[in-house]
Amino acid sequence: AQTVTQSQPEMSVQEAETVTLSCTYDTSENNYYLFWYKQPPSRQMILVIRQEAYKQQNATENRFSVNFQKAAKSFSLKISDSQLGDTAMYFCAFRSTGANSKLTFGKGITLSVRP
């Protein structure tokens, strides 16, 4: 079974600075998908970014980018130019490519952006 580990429960960053959220996972599969989801306070969870394991290039979405290290099974999220609206819980998630495969989530990290 796959596991996803987010070892930092909380982080804080000054507005406009850069922060990196860590995630590691364990799998014996070669092809899979990785995701970062964001859950703002009292608001719906939304997808931030996704990475396909067979793609070597790191995914980017505006201020959000990932550092995907397949051999190390590491998938960190970098948020550049942090904004107050980035304050949220962030969840790392894994999904294999098999039929009917499920998302496995990490325990999440609470990010606070200070003004």
- For the chain, the first-to-last Cα distance in angstroms comes to 41
Q: What is the identity of the amino acid at 42? A: S
Of residues 61-90, which lie at the interface with another protein (CB under 8 A)?
A: none
User: Judged by CB under 8 A, how many residues of this single chain contact another protein?
Assistant: 21
Q: Is 94 in the site for another protein (CB under 8 A)?
A: no
Q: What is the largest CA-CA distance in the chain?
A: 45
16: left (phi over 0), alpha (psi -120 to 50) or beta: left
Q: Is 11 in the site for another protein (CB under 8 A)?
A: no
Joined together, the tokens standing for residue 28 give 């014996």
Among 15, 46, 62, 83, binds another protein (CB under 8 A): 46
Tell me whether residue 4 or residue 79 sits nearer to another protein (CB atom). Answer: 4
Positions touching another protein (CB under 8 A) are 6, 9, 35, 37, 43-47, 50, 91, 95, 99-103, 105-108
